[in-house]
Each structure stands twice: as C-alpha cells, then as structure tokens.
C-alpha cells in the first residue's frame, strides 16, 4: 500500500480525537526518502519540543 492524501502531502501531527496518538502516514512512494525527516518530527512532537520545520501544512485534520 502507498497511502496518499488528496494534496499529496503526508499527514504528520497529533490526532485531535485520540490523546497521545501521533500520526505519520501518507508518504506515498516517498516513504523511504521522507522517513528520516518524519522520524525526527515525530520525536519532536512526542517530546513536546519545537519542531525543526513548520508542520501546519501536514496537519492530519486538514481535510476535516
């Protein structure tokens, strides 16, 4: 499977509905290439650190 969002960007961020759930999916065929950066962002999100880049455009709830 190669999940992909309608805008082609991955979903990275906290779930609005489930506390303590961090979502990192929708990388399509770029999963291996984007994996290390996504891993860093997930680490920062879980650790409640400032993220190394703006992640608003990857918000998992952007199509709600």
Q: Where are the domains of the chain?
A: 11-58
Note the pLDDT tens digit of each residue in 1-47. 789 999 999 999 999 999 899 999 999 999 999 999 999 999 999 99
Handedness of CA 36, 24, 14, 57 (dihedral sign): positive
- In whole angstroms, how large is the CA radius of gyration of the chain? 11
**Strand pairing partners for 11?**
25
How high is the pLDDT of residue 2?
85
pTM for the predicted model, two decimal places: 0.90
In what helix (H) or strand (E) does residue 15 lie, and over which residues does it extend? Answer: none
């Amino acid at each position: 499977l190669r999940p992909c969002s309608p805008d082609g960007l991955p979903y990275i961020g906290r779930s609005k509905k489930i506390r303590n759930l961090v979502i990192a999916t929708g990388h399509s065929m770029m999963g291996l290439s984007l994996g290390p950066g996504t891993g860093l962002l997930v680490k920062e999100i879980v650790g409640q650190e400032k993220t190394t880049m703006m992640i608003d455009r990857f918000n998992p709830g952007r199509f709600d």
